[in-house]
């Protein structure tokens, strides 16, 4: 794998090493990216009267990410993968907190065909975001490498080849993991809709 010498990768390395000037330049470079990730996530959520804006979501995600100075940032794609996961976690935490303050559970659905190239399940394209998060956690317990592939593909929007570079595995391995994850999620959503049968 070739070394990424992009400005973002260089800034990430300098930031990790304690360069304060790099931190400011890094913020200017990554904040618009994180806002775009946040907007993409929020654009997929429907129902439940969501009041969180993309700027607030991106800001909170950046605050969490800025405390991860010990991460050995490999390259731009590695950073985008982690930042997308952090954005997802902040959104899910927000929804959980909002639901605990109200009576009853107000589901916030995401259109899965926007996340994945197949529809899960075939009869209904939407799923509660909190359920999707729970299923992804279960998937991570069963196979962390498959979960990482899903997060890189869905939440960072990386291609199979880009995931191959980040994970340092072949494209065919990434393809196998991606196909397994889609089938697994489809089955788990169908099981949930049928009352866990």
Mean pLDDT rounded to a whole number for the chain: 75
pLDDT at 174 over 90: yes
- The answer to whether 111 touches 64, Cβ cutoff 8 Å, is no
| Averaged pLDDT for residues 152-174 | 85
Say how far apart CA 66 and CA 113 lie, in whole Å. 32
Closest CA to 73 of 3, 20, 170, 129: 3
pTM above threshold 0.85: no
Percent of the chain residues topping a pLDDT of 90: 10
| Averaged pLDDT for residues 30-54 | 72
| Averaged pLDDT for residues 144-166 | 83
Confidence grade of residue 169 (pLDDT, cut at 50, 70, 90): very high
Contacts of residue 197, defined as CB under 8 A and 6 or more positions apart, other chains included, come to: 191
């Amino acid at each position: 794998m070739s070394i990424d010498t992009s400005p973002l990768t260089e800034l990430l390395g300098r930031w990790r090493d304690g360069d304060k000037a790099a931190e400011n330049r890094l913020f200017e470079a990554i904040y618009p990216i994180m806002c775009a990730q946040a907007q993409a996530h929020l654009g997929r959520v429907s129902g439940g009267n969501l009041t969180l804006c993309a700027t607030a979501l991106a800001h909170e995600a950046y605050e969490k990410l800025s405390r991860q100075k010990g991460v050995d940032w490999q390259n731009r794609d590695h950073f985008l993968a982690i930042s997308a996961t952090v954005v997802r976690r902040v959104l899910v935490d927000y929804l959980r907190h909002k639901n605990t303050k109200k009576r009853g559970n107000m589901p916030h659905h995401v259109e899965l065909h926007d996340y994945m190239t197949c529809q899960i399940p075939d009869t209904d394209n939407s799923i509660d975001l909190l359920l999707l998060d729970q299923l992804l956690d279960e998937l991570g317990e069963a196979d962390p490498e498959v979960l990482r592939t899903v997060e890189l593909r869905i939440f960072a929007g990386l291609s199979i080849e880009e995931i191959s570079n980040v994970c340092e595995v072949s494209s065919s391995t990434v393809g196998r993991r991606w196909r397994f994850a889609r089938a697994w999620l489809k089955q788990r959503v169908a099981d949930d809709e049928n009352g866990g049968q």
